[in-house]
Amino acid sequence: MLVLLLTGSGLFMVASAGEVWGQFNYENPFYFVQRQAFFAAIGLIIMAGISTVDYRIWKKIAKPLLLLAFFLLIAVLIPGIGMVRNGSQSWIGVGSLSFQPSELMKIALIFYFSVLLSERKKVIHLFWKGLFTPLFVLVMAFGLIMLQPDLGTAAVMGGTAFLLLFIAGARIRFFVMTGLFALGGLVILIASAPYRMKRITAYLDPWSDPLGSGFQIIQSLYAVGPGGLFGHGYGESRQKYYYLPEPQTDFIFAIWAEETGLIGAVFIMTLFFLLIWRGIHIGMRTQDPFAALLVCGITAMISLQSFINLGVVIGLMPVTGVTLPFLSYGGSSLTMTLASAGIVLGISRLKG
């Protein structure tokens, strides 16, 4: 029910947030919601089908799925195969039909980590026997995604992987050491790309460049703030009229808050909170270590992505380009998220 409510809310909001850009770019105000409804239908069918599958099959296909994800991540970087949008070469497809291999990698990595960590739970405290292989795979996947570049997806994937390592029992000392290395690497990544540095300065003071790097954050706050308690009303957003760029994607929550106010914003955040709580509850009551890690990994992925997106929209975090699960426009993201929900439902049904 939570998944259906979130998906339905997403369709409801994409219809409003995307109507102006749909009319401007495609002469069809329903362009985005029609496509989102199509992918939602496919995703819900996949979710329903996957929920009936014995979860043990995911252990068997974890490695082949990981290899496929790596193959697609390499293929997307090849000129002529990968499609460039908004400065990132992250899509494979033909015309308007496209797919993001990084979305598949997020799921594939959760599968692989769940298998590996459940088999190595007795040596997880040892670096070479327990941690080296998953870390090596993570670094390779992270590097390929950063070549696109897509820091937001890479951050969600990396955060999910480290949460799985923590749940599996890795020592705190390991997280302290890797945290220091990660911080150094993050500084290098930011310093190596001027646009990332601009995002950091825009986060600290968006008004230092209100028509440049700070534009999205300022326009997002102009949507969230005036929404008040009850909002302007459905379809009455002002910021979607070419102020907030592509409001149906990363900043859809800003339009939601503008039109439905604090009441609507709390409603959506409550749905996410309950979904995450249910995921944790299912993971805790699951007896099979592999199934428990799989559920926790999927829950961590959804919670991290939601937290980052909401943080960006209200100015608590720098702009990262992370979509809001179930709500933001995007076929790859919606389909893979619904498929992931189907896996959790299947494990819940069989009780691990």
Two structure tokens written together for 177? 């050491």
Q: Which pLDDT band, with edges at 50, 70 and 90, does 7 fall under?
A: very high
Q: Which pLDDT band, with edges at 50, 70 and 90, does 64 fall under?
A: very high
pLDDT at residue number 197: 75
86 pLDDT more than 90: no
Q: Tell me if 151 sits within 8 A of 111, measured CB to CB.
A: no
Q: Which pLDDT band, with edges at 50, 70 and 90, does 119 fall under?
A: confident
How many domains are contained in the chain?
1
Domain that holds residue 30: 2-350
pLDDT at residue number 151: 82
pLDDT at residue number 21: 92
For residue range 267-284, what is the model confidence (pLDDT) as tens digits? 999 999 999 999 999 999
Q: What's the chain's average pLDDT?
A: 89
Residue 34 CB-density burial (10 A; 0-12 exposed, 13-18 middle, 19+ buried)? middle
For residue range 226-263, what is the model confidence (pLDDT) as tens digits? 989 999 999 999 999 989 888 999 999 999 999 999 99
pLDDT at residue number 128: 66
C-alpha–C-alpha distance, residues 332 and 86, integer Å:
16
pLDDT at residue number 156: 92
Give counts: helices (H), strands (E), the chain: 13, 3
pLDDT at residue number 221: 92
User: DSSP for 22-39?
Assistant: HHHHHS-TTHHHHHHHHH
Q: What is the pTM of this model?
A: 0.92
Q: List the beta bridge partners of residue 88.
A: 85
157 pLDDT more than 60: yes
Angle between helices 331-350 and 101-119 (to 10 degrees): 30
The mean-pLDDT minimum among 17-31, 60-74, 112-126, 246-260 falls in: 112-126
Two structure tokens written together for 218? 């300022």
Give the mean model confidence (pLDDT) for residues 153-161: 91
Give the mean model confidence (pLDDT) for residues 21-37: 92
Two structure tokens written together for 109? 């990595």
pLDDT at residue number 109: 95
Percentage of the chain surpassing pLDDT 70?
96
C-alpha–C-alpha distance, residues 91 and 73, integer Å:
9
Task: Return the ∠ at Cα 335 (arms to 140 and 153), rounded to 5°.
Answer: 30
